[in-house]
Amino acid sequence: MPVETLRWHGSLDGSLRIIDQRLLPGELKFRELRNVEAVFEAIQTLAVRGAPAIGIAAAYGVFIGVRDCPDDSSTFRSELKRVCKYLAGSRPTAVNLFYALDRVQALADDMAQTPAGEIKEAILEEAHKMLREDLDASRRMGENCQQFVKDGATYMTNCNAGGLATGGYGTALAAFYIAKEQGKKVSVFACETRPLLQGARLTTWELMREGIDVTLICDNMAATVLRQGKISGIFVGADRIAANGDAANKIGTYPLALLAREHGVPFYIVAPLSTFDFSLKSGDDIPIEQRAPQEVTHFAGRASAPEDVGVFNPAFDVTPAQLITAIICETGVAQNPDMAGLQALL
């Protein structure tokens, strides 16, 4: 199983332990997050990343944020709302973040007549439950992918949708981990994923640790690899899926889907139900995070572009549903996804 990217250590006075993914692959370092500001910073700066992992971290962050709050009801509930609103501002695109915060808030609302101390314990248990659910969901997603994974075939992926992005096997990479458990031999081409190189730094690191054959390519090499007929399918994750099946994922996913259609290669989105957002009619409504210009103008801390050049740096793009062969989640598969097909998965 992939390395544990986040786990709770201790009891009520414990801490959230995460892998600082900003340091990989050079250094495997764990951080202990003991206050809500540290959780916010870890999410915002990508020390912890991946839609499911962000949601789980946020749930634990709520507990950490209210843990030392006075137990009188009005003060506690006011602080709970403040902490949830604060964490909601860490990143805008991954709906799992808001799903987790809404779930914790709803839990507290349902316990309106319960002492604050008991609600705090319930929030921590709810975060534990989300982590367990994600581990189970990731395995089931990987199993549901197997109808599309053939022994001896080669696949492609973008960004990192493995154990580092979740509480378990991952989303897209779970397809390869479960394949290995079932005795299949698969190979993977990993796109580097500019500008922060999550594919190069994280996906290759994960797959190599698990003994899965992986080849790293620059993003602009994907078309050549596909044209050579080396790829049997493309598996990627998602940060938000609209009601019509449009899916937001790491920047560079949309052009991969276009290339897949041009070369007759199946294109699969793998994501848990918590990534679905039926309040949005289409991908046009998905908020896209804009990140700092320095991520594009600098490389390894050194300037790689002229000073003061204009920069457009969206963290995600949206792949239209008509380019997606299937959306795979823990409850099943929606082929040629549309609103009816996605609702059936629920």
C-alpha span between 209 and 170 (Å, rounded): 14
- Span 276-298, average pLDDT: 96
Measured over the CA atoms of residue 177, residue 251, residue 104 and residue 276, the dihedral's sign is negative
| pLDDT tens-digit map of 62-117 | 999 999 988 887 889 999 999 999 999 999 998 999 999 999 999 999 998 899 99
| pLDDT tens-digit map of 194-237 | 999 999 999 999 999 999 999 999 999 999 999 999 999 999 99
C-alpha span between 220 and 5 (Å, rounded): 29
Share of the chain above pLDDT 70, in %: 100
* DSSP state at residue 314: B
Tell me what pLDDT residue 224 has.
98
Tell me what pLDDT residue 1 has.
66
21 φ/ψ angles, rounded to the nearest 5 degrees:
-75, -10
Look up the CATH number of domain 142-345: 3.40.50.10470
Sorted by where each begins, the domain ranges of the chain are 6-139, 142-345
328 strand-pairing partners? 270, 333
C-alpha span between 309 and 181 (Å, rounded): 48
- Residue 224 tokens read as 């050549």
CB 213 within 8 A of CB 190: no
C-alpha span between 22 and 209 (Å, rounded): 18
β 240-242/247-250 pair status = antiparallel
β 30-33/187-191 pair status = unpaired
Choose the CATH number for 6-139 among 1.20.120.420, 1.10.1740.10, 3.40.640.10, 2.60.40.10: 1.20.120.420
Confidence of residue 159 (pLDDT cuts 50, 70, 90): very high
pTM of this prediction exceeds 0.85: yes
By three-state DSSP, how is residue 197 classified? Answer: coil
Element (H, E) at 293: none
Element (H, E) at 167: none
Q: Which residues have C-beta within 8 Å of that of residue 221, sequence separation ≥ 6?
A: none
- The set of catalytic residues is 239
Distances (CA, A) of 175 to 41, 149, 150, 178: 31, 7, 11, 6
Q: Which residues have C-beta within 8 Å of that of residue 70, sequence separation ≥ 6?
A: 76, 116
